[in-house]
Amino acid sequence: MIKLRLAIDAMGGDHGPSIVIAALKKAVSQFPDVEFAVVGRQQELQQLLQSQALNDHPAISIVHAEDVVTMADKPGYALRAKPESSMRKALELLADGHAQGVVSGGNTGALMTKAYFVLKTLPGVLRPALMTALPNQRGGQSYLLDLGANPVCDSDTLFQFGVMGSVAAQQTLAISKPRVALLNMGEEEIKGSDVVRHAAQLLQSSEAVDYIGFIEGNDMFTGKADVIVCDGFVGNIALKSCEGLAELLVANVKSTIASHWAYRWFFRLFSKKLQQSWDWLKPDHYNGASLIGLRGVVIKSHGSANSEAFYSAIQQAVTEAREELPEQIKSRVESVLLEQA
Amino acid sequence: MIKLRLAIDAMGGDHGPSIVIAALKKAVSQFPDVEFAVVGRQQELQQLLQSQALNDHPAISIVHAEDVVTMADKPGYALRAKPESSMRKALELLADGHAQGVVSGGNTGALMTKAYFVLKTLPGVLRPALMTALPNQRGGQSYLLDLGANPVCDSDTLFQFGVMGSVAAQQTLAISKPRVALLNMGEEEIKGSDVVRHAAQLLQSSEAVDYIGFIEGNDMFTGKADVIVCDGFVGNIALKSCEGLAELLVANVKSTIASHWAYRWFFRLFSKKLQQSWDWLKPDHYNGASLIGLRGVVIKSHGSANSEAFYSAIQQAVTEAREELPEQIKSRVESVLLEQA
């Protein structure tokens, strides 16, 4: 196995570089064969590494970057005005072959724009897509894409998302024959828009994917499909509305617990055991959206990630880089293009 | 107050007419000033009414319909091949002025197609929309539309949904100045598709609605907006993905309870009290999607509704019919057309 190197944008995210360095502490112990280039303001990072007793760690190096892309920066502005940002420098390390993957918790729009500009898409790939793993009732995971890189998609793009998601599920979820579905407002062939129906025909007639048909929103968490494809507008709203519902339920659970002595007592007594049984649903485990279709591994960590969640994003980057996901996608897309020619 | 009459399609829904008649028993006691025309197979309905001691009830009459639209019927087929269905006959009672509202638990696609064909849209209304109430963190409700009547919408249609939803929130949620928002993949003006951005301009420049801007999926349940507008594809998938997540969580709660004697014991002891604190989230209370923009009140009850849920749908129909929602929408849409002229 070749030695991997990841570039970590330490300055993105709502909580600043401290959670990144804390995540790194776990990562260097879990992945002894991986090197980390930590990109950001040298002095600040040096202090943080020192506080975690990581300042002389052989697997960690600092790459100085003066500027930081903020959450408020518009993507176009960040691209033009901040060439010295930590995000940009991390992507350049990847583009120049000094790293095999990037992890950033920064501004999603800026990351997508910069990554697309610096790395470019793989040959034959129409558009990159943002993809994440969802927990499902079978105890496994399903990939959902696109989550917002492309608000409007044509049928060819949706078809390619199916191909790319299928390769990703094979390589990183170890599913030998991933079942690919299109998200639609009904399961019948006549449902939905022309774009979705045409994408279904393309997926149906391709050898490159195991297409199982349309699924509805309520099947997103059942494990009926391993790869769920939709445009970025739909994927973004589906995922965020689920986040919203989860917040509503958590708020309700909290006020229920507070409302009666017996609840408070019970939850104090069993909180540890209860926590365990919910761990598989823990959002921290599902942190890390992959920007796929580009010439390199790029993982977007949630802006509000804690160190545990940021570690999950690093883990995802290690897996994708080890499995050489971009190379695998490239070769599958090439074979599809030959199939269609 | 004029005496209202509702036409109830008794044959739709997965559980057949028995839950409809059970719901009716509650409705006649709660709404002494409302008459009900129960549409379906006479003999079957007569027996069910007898079993509930409702056979001689002065507020209930049976309208015989030989045919039933099944859940498997394609909308076009149901429209052409089943003119004698209970669904069609209920809608005809409304169209002919013999009823002021229809409630059906039947096939959604068939109901939308038949309602559109039999009733037509209100003057000036481009497309009808399917709308439902969501619970929110403020303890109130927000309306979400469209839920699937229109997979693809142009900006003018989205604008009208904002107007119609605003009227509905005023009349049936008693919100004097409903805050209307467009569902989008970001809050910034540049986000989303051209269609959504143009709809935002239309809403912004109209006097007819209090437009507050874009909201993201995670704000669907916060109560930030009273009316949330999107196309039917997005609305359908957002709502159903939330249903899917809720099912995943319920399955997890059940297996957690089963996993430890203390959980089983606790939940047996406090199930009644716990139930109460969750009641405001109970899906039964949110049953009943309104098909608005038509010349008459049409409420779609969930196919799997129990009698309590079907009663909620009847309640919604009574409210909309009492408030003369179609008339109110008509006059607001007319004033908007004058404003634009």
Most confident range (mean pLDDT) of A253-267, B70-84, B113-127 is: B113-127
**Euclidean distance between CA atoms A270 and A268, whole angstroms:** 6
Residue B48, C-beta contacts closer than 8 angstroms, at least 6 positions apart: B17, B18, B21
For the segment A235-252, the average pLDDT, to the nearest whole number, is 87
Task: Grade residue B243 by pLDDT with cuts at 50, 70 and 90.
Answer: confident
Question: Is residue B285 within 8 Å of residue B279, measured between CB atoms?
Answer: yes
Confidence of residue A266 (pLDDT cuts 50, 70, 90): confident
Which range has the worst mean pLDDT, A174-178, A317-321, B300-304? B300-304
pLDDT band for position A274 (50/70/90)?
Answer: low
For chain A, the straight-line distance linking the first and the last C-alpha, in angstroms and rounded, comes to 36
CA nearest B297: which of B267, B319, B278? B319
Q: Which residue has the higher pLDDT, B57 or A265?
A: B57
Mean pLDDT of B159-180: 97
The pLDDT of residue A2: 60
Q: What is the pLDDT of residue A285?
A: 64
ipTM over 0.90: no
Q: Give me the pLDDT at residue B61, please.
A: 96
Q: Are the CB atoms for A209 and A180 separated by under 8 Å? A: yes
Over residues A183-212, the mean pLDDT reads 92
B268 touches chain A (CB under 8 A): no
Q: Chain B within 8 Å of A245 (Cβ-Cβ)?
A: yes
Between A133-142, A267-276, B322-331, the lowest mean confidence (pLDDT) is in A267-276
Residue B1 has pLDDT above 60, yes or no: no
A240·B234 Cβ contact <8 A: no
Instruction: Give the pLDDT of residue A210.
Output: 97
pLDDT at B217: 95
What residue segments make up the domains of chain A, in order of their start? 1-125+285-326, 129-259
Question: Averaged over A73-98, what is the pLDDT?
Answer: 91
Report how far apart, in Å, the C-alpha atoms of A280 and of each of A134, A141, B244 are. Answer: 11, 10, 17
User: Would you say how long chain A is, in residues?
Assistant: 341
What pLDDT was estimated at residue A280? 59
What mean pLDDT do residues B20-49 have? 96
> What are the beta bridge partners of residue A213?
A181
Is pLDDT at A139 greater than 70 in this prediction?
Answer: yes
- At the top level of CATH, which class does the domain B131-259 belong to? alpha beta
CATH superfamily of A129-259: Isopropylmalate Dehydrogenase (3.40.718.10)
Q: Of the given ranges (A166-170, A224-228, B120-124, B278-282), which has the lowest mean pLDDT? A: B278-282
Query: Would you say A185 and B233 are in contact if contact means Cβ atoms under 8 Å apart?
Result: yes
Amino acid at residue number B216:
E
3-class DSSP state of A263: helix
Mean pLDDT for all residues in chain B: 91
A224-241 pLDDT, tens per residue?
999 999 999 999 999 999
CB–CB contact A241 B274 (8 Å)? no
Taken in order B70, B76, B82, B85, the sign of the CA dihedral is positive
The mean pLDDT of B143-161, rounded to a whole number, is: 95
For the domain A1-125+285-326, what is the CATH code?
Answer: 3.40.718.10
Residue A111 pLDDT greater than 90, yes or no: yes
Same fold, A1-125+285-326 and A129-259: yes
With cut-offs at 50, 70 and 90, classify the pLDDT of residue B279.
low
Chain B residues with beta carbon closer than 8 angstroms to that of A248:
135-137, 221-222, 281
Q: What is the pLDDT of residue B161?
A: 98
Say if residues A176 and A223 touch (Cβ distance below 8 Å). no
Query: Which amino acid is residue B234, in one-letter code?
Result: V
Whether B262 and A241 lie within 8 Å, measured CB to CB: no
pLDDT tens track for B88-114: 999 999 999 999 999 999 988 899 999
The count of CB pairs under 8 A between chains A and B is 170
Residue A182, φ and ψ in degrees, nearest 5:
-100, 135
CATH fold group of domain B1-125+287-341: Isopropylmalate Dehydrogenase (3.40.718)
**Local confidence band at B2 (pLDDT 50, 70, 90 cut-offs):** low
Q: In what order do the strands lie in the sheet with B297-300?
A: B60-64, B34-40, B4-9, B101-104, B297-300, B289-292, B129-135, B141-145, B227-229, B179-183, B210-215
Q: Is pLDDT of B81 > 60?
A: yes
- In the three-class reduction of DSSP (H, G, I as helix; E, B as strand; rest coil), residue B142 is classed as strand
pLDDT, average across residues A310-316:
95
Question: Quick one: pLDDT at residue B304?
Answer: 84
DSSP state string for A275-339: HHHHGGG-GGGG--EEEESBSSEEEEPPTT--HHHHHHHHHHHHHHHHTTHHHHHHHHHHHHHHH
Would the pLDDT of A276 be above 80? no
Q: So what's the pLDDT on residue A95? A: 97
- Predicted pLDDT at B269: 75
Instruction: Count helices and strands (H / E) in chain A.
Output: 11, 11
Mean pLDDT over A69-92 rounds to 89
C-alpha B42/C-alpha B49 separation (Å) is 10
Q: Is the pLDDT of residue B253 over 80?
A: no
A262·B270 Cβ contact <8 A: yes
Which of A180-184, B66-70, B74-78, B214-218 comes out lowest in average pLDDT?
A: B74-78
From chain B, the residues in CB contact with A249 under 8 A are 246, 249, 281
Q: What is the mean pLDDT of chain A?
A: 91
Which pLDDT score, from 0 to 100, does residue B252 have? 76
Residue B209 has what pLDDT? 96
Q: Residue B191 has what pLDDT?
A: 85
Long-range Cβ pairs for the range B327-330 (8 Å, 24+): B328/B167, B328/B170, B328/B171, B329/B122, B329/B125, B329/B163, B329/B164, B329/B167, B329/B168, B329/B292, B329/B293, B330/B122, B330/B123, B330/B124, B330/B125
- Rounded mean pLDDT of B35-54? 96
- Separation CA A105–CA A219 (nearest Å): 29
pLDDT band at A281, cuts 50/70/90?
low
Per CB-CB distance under 8 Å, the chain B contacts of A222 are 244, 247-248
Q: Which two tokens stand for residue B23?
A: 């719901």
Residue to test with chain B: of A237, A254, A255, A276, most B Cβ within 10 A: A237
**Mean pLDDT, residues B323-336 taken together:** 95
- Mean pLDDT in residue range A50-75: 92
With contacts defined as CB-CB under 8 Å, which chain A residues touch B274? 256
